[in-house]
Amino acid sequence: MQHQTMRTSVSNFFMSLFESCLDCFSLKIQRTNLPLYIACFQTVSATFIDDLKNFFLPFVLRCEQEAAGSRKQFLHDYLIHLSSEDLSLPQELFEHLRDGHSCELVPSLEEKISLALDCLYAYPNADQLRKAFHILECIRGRGFR
């Protein structure tokens, strides 16, 4: 319980930090500092979807208010960063989207397909083929059975 309280406090601190950055810097500067945000937004499998909804989504929606298309670009950059190391967390997102959950992060089927393919191409090795096929199976209308 104490670990969760500390995790929430740290997450709230980072959200406050990035919200203040929104007020201080232009979107162009924020975009060049995206690796800083990615480094700070470390998550684990058990809380990944909740972290996306509670922390990442509010951040990108505020950015979207300043520049159209920034939500899509931030999500793309973040998932490509994750996918370049491991497909586990992107797989969780696509499972969540497959289960019929509406999500402001990926509102259209076209965007979901494009994002899934970009995630798969970002992973440099062939040792996670099972996860890669599972991601493809999560996209509506696609099946490899």
Q: Are 63 and 71 in contact (CB under 8 A)?
A: yes
Q: Are 93 and 48 in contact (CB under 8 A)?
A: yes
Residue 50 CB coordination number (10 Å): 10
Q: Are 106 and 112 in contact (CB under 8 A)?
A: yes
Residue 25, pLDDT score: 43
What averages of pLDDT result for each successive group of 10 residues across the chain (145 residues)? Answer: 56 58 48 52 79 80 82 87 92 88 80 94 93 90 47
Residue 26, pLDDT score: 45
Whose structure tokens read 């989207």? 97
Residue 3, pLDDT score: 53
Residue 22 carries which side chain, given as an amino acid letter? L
CA distance 54 to 59: 9
Residue 88, pLDDT score: 95
Residue 68, pLDDT score: 87
**Count of CA atoms in the C-beta half-sphere (13 A) of 76:** 14
CA distances in angstroms from 83 to 34, 132, 137, listed in the order given: 16, 10, 17
Backbone angles phi, psi at 19, to 5 degrees: -65, -35
CA distance 73 to 124: 21
